[in-house]
A and B are shown apart, each in its own frame.
Chain A
């Protein structure tokens, strides 16, 4: 007996006894060998009970040896923050110190209170929850649903942020080979030796696929598995090949774009701190070769779910690869020859095989003869109709199909095979159409939709020799199709042996699941029995999609890899229709569950959505700015001084700008350079304003609408030359305005000679506003006459500023004399510092977006997106003057003429004066005419902007009010939860109504 488990057989398997590995399961210590999975190591120690089922909490063991495992899901916990639920024990390799726990049981795995569900299981038929829990009504939310939720679910979700990181890589290749079994390796060799750039991936730790259990096959004179390792090594050494183990191709998207998830450190005891846990590969392939193999199916019979019952190929892998016997007395139930091979291998290893029960009446083939020659009792035309045991299978009940006495045969493990299901998942995800092959009872790739090809077992190619020649041909032809100078490869692989298996069984076995027998499992994890599927059909679920959703068959974490075909066959039988007529449910990505973190990759924390900073950002930080998020930008919100809260800081900034001057970072506003002989004509169509006659060196405030006639964006446009404009947009609108313009240029006005370039990041923009603005900037300006006469409000000049080229705008969003200094972004910070140094000495302050908002509201200037909401026309906003009266066309001109847009009673932008002179209204608050009406109230408007105005000494507000222009001077109400606030409708200009300051 080995220290790595008493069921480890000396001299059998490929693992080295010299490499023991210690781990724990539910707190108990075990040891296994390097190369073991949790599953193989536990079986080596005689442990089969590893989990509980979803609904009935039935004891469950290890069914498979791969990612299709529905039962053996465990939690793996490195530390509190590195706890992963629902890990497949059949995939997770053990490492020293691995800590695994069972799931979905309380208080313990062997004694689980939830198992009362099993006793009450007659109640819990398919879809039972749709028929009950309706009375009393309130009980659903407070009693039934919490109970169901607590009973459902598998493992525990992590509760702490994940300290691990995940990597991402994009890759292009000529040929992507999915699956590294015989077919995949052969195809990769052929493609690579033909000169193609190849990526080969396989979900397992080692290449070889079925060669892990298929001990008889020899390739190039070597044992199959050894050949596979040599082939992988050959490939790994080639410059044009990348091979990825532990890498699952999980999603096949459009244009041969395939997602691969690589598990980088999950098998390591002490991963390097800088190693990613997983890596996402996003591969664009010239051609995809799918060599995904086939998955063995279980037999559907009563109590087929006891621990110790497993797939024959799994038992064979545990034996031939891990050197582990799954029992000492192993029963066999099969409809396929492959289980014979497993029985023979076990027998050779000295394991007792009490009987092979073959549901077929007269199976033929060398495997059957060989089994008999080994003296194994073969019962053909028999079925296993039940099993005994509780936490482990203890016996199988065998009955002749034609009737007769039942025999109870003691066993401590039962292996089974209902045949093999080709893995058409990736083919199907590529939107290929599968076709039913009646002779072999399986769906195979039919019509292809993308440039891919299926080879080997997933293509229904059963014989090893044929698989290899098909693979070599596919590899060579893929290289030829994707590579101009592909040479013919010299790959030749000699093949001996390999199974030649036939036989298949779909649906429930004889006597299984009929009449009183109700627990013949089709979908193990979700506890779906054959009877559930028949009940679904009985209740009118005639589409396979309805059967799936009603019973949850195929919706567990294995996504129906074992259950879908059985469920389909049972439904087809109950419906009296042929299987292909009933149809398959859709195969969806991912092939196996894929870690969120792998998909997210680096896009976490600061890289989630990188913040955009202006060139002056660091200066603003140094000046103590508080920032706000505006789109992707961090904008200085206000600059509090010691002891100031936001309110105090904003009041000071507002006062200082109007009394002295203020400096503001306006860089985030979108900027688009519009150039070309038709640029003026183009802008004339995009904006509601006229642009043809705008003089060079002049600015114009412009409004743009969508076709619907509602305000879309606004900004100031400067004419730099006859054929060149400097357009500004709102901060949030920058990308979509450029798209909007491009869209029109390309689809509506393609005849125009106009070029659009985003220059948002090319210019740093410093606004200096206030009575002393000119005086502050004057010493820095060269080549521009700043006098009112030479450089009036709404003009632009080019010159230098601090010796740097500038486009100097004379404009104002505050109502004060103002300049916006555009300098190349790289000089932004130095210019900012220079101006600030001088301005500060003259009493100027820095101000942020909040002060900007208040100052513009004092002047009644709108903010698109705050005072407009996509339902406001230029006329509604009081900006009718900005719509060119003589224009015959612009985007939105027809929309603006629609009946509702010119009707009475539209919501119009007005000012509000709060009667008490001190309450600052809440932005978003609603406005009514009669505050005493019952709910639902008739709302006639809403408050869009509202601030305390230090300069006015009272609160100010802008609002959109029905027929607002007609209500000047009228009293309205803003109902709050505790009271209604009285307001008077006013104009929108609260400060300097004459507007003289702007020309100062």
Chain B
């Protein structure tokens, strides 16, 4: 792999950039692999990368129905934070944040991780109670998260409206300074390049149409739009379509899929320094390096596989944005889009073995999977390589919905991920 650096860039600039090779190869599928990952989003590619890097397994194919990074990896609002309530969540998401901190260097790809701070606004007494609970739990778990008064929140984010006459006045905020954003496409591409460099086959335009199992029930490979491909182990990381793939292996998943929308404004000069989330008024917002305001909207009310959504959802979101930031009404929406999010009953993911031998699944990230990408791939790789979960994802089983051992961040937090 050609290393990226400022020096390499200068050298290439002088010869018309002729020396840059393909960031990842586009090989024909082999007959068989040790591991097949279904889904070349951030989580799937990260899984392949860590399998190769940490577990020495390089005979891997990552199969992608469309183009790599084209699902929720390339459609989310790129918020990164780890101030979750439960020990299991804090462990998983903070593991991810620690990997984020060195990811550009690890992958030799600038993923633009920007710890600009994630501020969550409290608008009523209940919010205050909930956020304080998070802050106390985070402190005892070694995760940074601090309470800000409305004035301190305004100082951290000057455009914020903290007027007491607002419909839902800001009563304070929880701030995680290590939280922030990253460049979503670069995450997919960086992992694809680094995995490809270690021998992983990233195979795009290859749709999985069936899961083949041997006499003992063990997985033997997958049927695809490009023929059968054998595998000793198969890891499914297909986000909104996970339940469709798992159904092929007769595993019914506790998932519902919803359209989730987001939008950006036209680019403007820097005017918004951090990430702000408000669950009570339903909005989150940050500004990209390019200058666009990046705004997350809510999910539709009904399940669907359609990567689009209604105007009223966008309206509700912009109502909230303009209520909190009344100077933005003259900004213009440049582009809006939708993705399909897979949601579990407790709003926490599943990263686990399955009842089928050799079949593993990583899904259920709901509206907040991007932030976990490195950590999710890292522990899922461990799970596949060892046929046993990593300490960090032990609790993220499918069986928890039968046993009742939930990790119910949504219920506990009443905060969108």
**Partner-B contacts on A (CB < 8 A):** 54, 82-86, 122-123, 125, 128-135, 137, 140-141, 145-146, 148-150, 152-162, 164, 166, 251, 253-254, 257, 259, 282, 431, 516, 518, 535, 538-543, 545-546, 549-550, 552, 555, 557, 559, 586, 588-590, 593-597, 599-601, 603-606, 608-609, 611, 628-630, 708-710, 865-866, 869-871, 895, 898-901, 922-926, 928, 935-937, 939, 942, 975, 977
Contact = CB atoms under 8 A, between A and B. Distances in A.
B251 interface: no
A141 B287 CA distance: 14
Contacts of A709: 404
A347 B394 CA distance: 78
A607 B243 CA distance: 41
B132 interface: yes
B284 to A, nearest CB: 15
Given A130-B4, A150-B269, A628-B124, A924 B335 contact: no
Contact of A157 (B116, B129, B268, B335): B268
Given A134-B105, A600-B318, A935-B142, A898 B167 contact: no
A669 B348 CA distance: 31
Given A588-B336, A596-B330, A939-B87, A125 B266 contact: no
B319 A600 contact: yes
A86 B114 CA distance: 26
A130 B190 contact: yes
Given A134-B108, A898-B402, A149 B291 contact: yes
Contacts of A603: 315, 319
A146 B26 CA distance: 36
Contacts of B130: 924
B331 A596 contact: yes
B289 A593 contact: no
B1 to A, nearest CB: 12
Given A129-B110, A590-B333, A596-B333, A924 B134 contact: yes
11 contacts: A83-B330, A130-B183, A130-B186, A130-B189, A132-B9, A157-B268, A540-B23, A593-B334, A605-B323, A870-B410, A925-B132
Contacts of A149: 270, 287, 289, 291
A137 B310 contact: no
A145, A593, A895: residue with the most chain B Cβ atoms closer than 10 Å: A593
B322 interface: yes
B132 A628 contact: no
Given A125-B13, A135-B6, A546-B67, A141 B114 contact: yes
B136 A922 contact: yes
Contacts of A557: 266-267, 334
B332 A134 contact: no
A624 B113 CA distance: 50
B156 to A, nearest CB: 16
Contact of A282 (B17, B110, B137, B311): B311
A145 B329 contact: no
A588 B322 contact: no
Interface of B: 4-6, 8-10, 12-14, 16-17, 20-26, 66-70, 74, 87, 90, 102, 104-105, 108-110, 112-116, 123-126, 129-137, 139-142, 159, 167-168, 183, 185-186, 189-190, 204, 265-272, 281, 287, 289-291, 308, 310-311, 314-315, 318-323, 326-337, 345, 400, 402-406, 408, 410-412
Contact of B167 (A133, A146, A608, A924): A608
A937 B116 CA distance: 27
Contact of A145 (B126, B159, B289, B321): B289
A588 B264 CA distance: 12
A938 to B, nearest CB: 8
B267 A599 contact: no
A899 B318 CA distance: 44
A182 B281 CA distance: 46
Given A130-B109, A600-B319, A629-B124, A150 B270 contact: yes
Nearest to B280: A629
A590 B131 CA distance: 36
B330 A595 contact: yes
Contacts of A975: 140
Nearest to A594: B333
Contacts of A924: 129-136
B315 A599 contact: yes
Contacts of B142: 935-936
B23, B159, B265: residue with the most chain A Cβ atoms closer than 10 Å: B23
Given A559-B335, A923-B132, A153 B321 contact: no
A870 B67 contact: no
A133 B319 contact: no
A900 B405 contact: yes
Contact of B87 (A131, A922, A936): A936
Nearest to B137: A926
B412 A869 contact: yes
A132 B6 contact: yes
Contact of B268 (A85, A128, A546, A895): A85
A704 to B, nearest CB: 15
B327 A162 contact: yes
A259 B313 CA distance: 13
Contacts of A148: 289
B110 A131 contact: yes
B262 to A, nearest CB: 11
Nearest to A709: B404
B114, B183, B185, B290: residue with the most chain A Cβ atoms closer than 10 Å: B290
B140 A538 contact: no
Contacts of A540: 21-26
B404 A895 contact: yes
Contacts of B4: 130-132, 134
A153, A154, A155, A535: residue with the most chain B Cβ atoms closer than 10 Å: A153
A628 B137 contact: no
A922 B116 CA distance: 29
A595 B315 CA distance: 11
Given A130-B110, A154-B268, A542-B204, 5 more contacts: A140-B114, A141-B116, A161-B326, A559-B334, A926-B140
A145 B111 CA distance: 12
A926 B20 contact: no
A187 B289 CA distance: 45
A886 B71 CA distance: 50
B299 to A, nearest CB: 16
B124, B131, B404: residue with the most chain A Cβ atoms closer than 10 Å: B404
Contacts of B74: 545, 549
Given A130-B110, A538-B20, A942 B14 contact: no
Contact of A132 (B5, B102, B308, B406): B5
Contact of A596 (B6, B271, B321): B321
A601 B116 CA distance: 32
A137 B111 CA distance: 12
Contacts of B268: 85-86, 153-157
Given A145-B114, A898-B402, A866 B126 contact: yes
B9 A898 contact: no
A496 B319 CA distance: 50
A146 to B, nearest CB: 8
B327 A923 contact: no
A545 B67 contact: yes
B408 A900 contact: no
Nearest to A936: B141
Contacts of B336: 251, 588-590
Nearest to A104: B269
Contacts of B335: 555, 559, 588, 590
Given A123-B13, A559-B334, A599 B140 contact: no
B17 A535 contact: yes
Given A606-B167, A936-B141, A939-B137, A131 B328 contact: no
B318 A599 contact: yes
A595 B331 contact: yes
A900 B167 CA distance: 42
Nearest to A549: B185
B269 A588 contact: no
